[in-house]
Structure 1
Amino acid sequence: MSVITNNLFRVGNFVKRTFFGAIFAVVLIAGITLHTIGFLIVFLAITLLGTFEFYQLVRKANCSPQIIPGMIAATILFVACYLNARFHQNILFLLFTLSVVSIPIIELYRKKETPFTNIAFTIMGLAYIALPFSLFSYMTYPFSDNRFHSEIVLGIFLMVWANDSGAYLVGVNFGKHRLFERISPKKSWEGSIGGAIVSLIVAYICSIFCFDLSLWEWLFMGAIVVVFGSLGDLIESLLKRSIQIKDSGNILPGHGGILDRFDAILLVSPVVFVFLQIIHEYFR
């Protein structure tokens, strides 16, 4: 009887995970591809949810980040990057600077036991969560032509998903040599190689359908996804292990939290941003 119950539980969990995963993918892809305002709404929401989730997590480390000032600064940063990428306006960056400067000033009046830890984690939320998502605005307007380029951001996510899926499937079936056992005991070198191969195949396919980047640029970006996506996954695992939790949240049933779903993106985004800036500056 227990065997039947366990099997039913696994099936139910798989159905739930698939259902919510499909909804998540549809909303994200729609936000990326349909319209620039849709991109603004979806990614701003993800930025705020991720920043809030991060602040809730670090509270478990016996500190008190400034949640409301941090969320306000994250909002300003995202909108400032969007307006700068699309319309080349810089005025909101001044307001963002003031919002960051206000964080240590506010801490003077909070009378908390760990003031500098609170300041550090509040600003860390902006650097680790809000900034990577904000930089996606520059990837949708990468060439200063005022045209919305959804293909690049969509390609990044497809390569990240391909890397994760390939690493999981190969690792489960063939993984023997641990990649970073101290932080993530289940990850293997075999899985990483499998993920890399699948990700580069997706990069090649992207080059066929998207002409914004050449084949070598897509493949190079695929390599960035493989290396920094894996590191981003390990860093988020390190965060969770340091506060002894399994999932960063439960906003996505069967999938964990926002940080669990976007851990690879948090490191991939800044590196891809730099890569695209170099291309624009020296090769276009």
Structure 2
Amino acid sequence: MNNFIKRTITGILLLAAVILSLKISTHIHLVAVFIIALLSSIELSFAFKHMGVNYPLKLQIILGLVYFIMIYFKKEYFLLLLFVFQLAIIIAVLGHKYDLKDMSFFILSFIYVFINFSILILIKEKKYIYLIYMSSWSTDTFAYLFGSLLGKRKLIERISPNKSVEGAIFGTIFSSLSTTILAYFLGINNLFIWFFVFLISSIFAQLGDLVASYIKRSAKIKDFSHILLGHGGILDRFDSILFVAPIIFIFYKLLGR
């Protein structure tokens, strides 16, 4: 429970920081998201190095910066051009220091980190960004809390031995309810439909956490880094957001504003 308190405090401080950046300016929020994506990409590359994978991290960061600058100037639909540019660079480096496996992980990690984080910028209405943060972090909090109190049956022990079926179920239910309540106060329409969207996003939040756990277990590391008290690294805290953001974004587009 002591670790839960640490995680809660860290989560509240981070949540306050991102909400403050969003309230002050969307530009400041863009910078904050890029910094988070930057640190996450560094952590992920270190994890992959433990697996024998080595790719040009500096190049990935430059491409990530270029992509975020394009978003800033509202050129996000030039992502295809960026991807072609990325492929051209991959072809150029294949014959030298990096092999096909390295560059496959290069593309995968770019999509996993920079593309998914960029959704927080592509969504133009702040209230939906709040819902992404709420769905992700409330799932993490409730799943951890109920898992600690009631957890008996392991969810997927070979990937994450501390996660329980009870924590997953109650985390999904209470996260969906709390996020729907927030949606109500934010003036979101079609709350009945959105409740089921939040159920889906909560499930994906836990899938995102499991994917991160699988990467860490494959790399034989406990945490991605030791930056955050009670959490480990930036990616340990934001792993679920990487899976929640696309879900909310899809229904944000489908259901309209």
Q: TM-score, normalised by structure 2?
A: 0.89
Aligned counterparts of 1:173 and 1:94: Cα–Cα separation in 2: 47
CA 1:27/1:186 → structure 2, altered by over 3 Å: closer, same or farther? same
Q: Structure 1: give runs of 5+ residues left out of the alignment.
A: 1-9, 142-148
Partner of 1:96: 82
**SS in structure 1 of the partner of residue 162 of structure 2:** strand
**Candidates 181, 195, 202, aligned match of 1:226:** 202
Partner of 1:36: 26
**Candidates 138, 146, 154, aligned match of 1:170:** 146
Indicate the RMSD between aligned Cα atoms, in angstroms.
2.4
- Please tell me whether residue 116 in structure 1 is matched to residue 109 in structure 2: no
Identify which of structures 1 and 2 has the higher relative contact order when contacts are C-alpha pairs closer than 8 Å and 6+ apart.
2
Deviation at 1:217, TM superposition (A): 4.0
Matched residue count: 257
**Candidates 260, 265, 278, aligned match of 2:241:** 265
| CA contact 1:30–1:38 (8 Å) conserved in 2 | no
Q: Percent identity?
A: 34
Q: Deviations over 1:52-98 (max 9, x none)?
A: 221121111112111111111112223333443xxxx3575365235
Equivalent residue letter for 2:66: I
Q: Deviations over 1:163-197 (max 9, x none)?
A: 11111111111111211111111211111121122
**SS in structure 2 of the partner of residue 161 of structure 1:** helix
CA 1:279/1:82 → structure 2, altered by over 3 Å: closer, same or farther? farther
**SS in structure 2 of the partner of residue 185 of structure 1:** strand
Partner of 1:132: 116
Equivalent residue letter for 1:166: F
Q: Deviations over 1:22-64 (max 9, x none)?
A: 4323212212333211211111111111112211211111121
Partner of 1:200: 176
Deviation at 1:15, TM superposition (A): 7.8
Partner of 2:39: 49
Q: Deviations over 1:246-282 (max 9, x none)?
A: 00112223321111001111111122222222223xx
Which 10-residue stretch deviates more, 200-209 or 117-126? 200-209
Aligned counterparts of 2:246 and 2:134: Cα–Cα separation in 1: 17
Q: TM-score, normalised by structure 1?
A: 0.81
Partner of 2:221: 245
Equivalent residue letter for 1:169: L
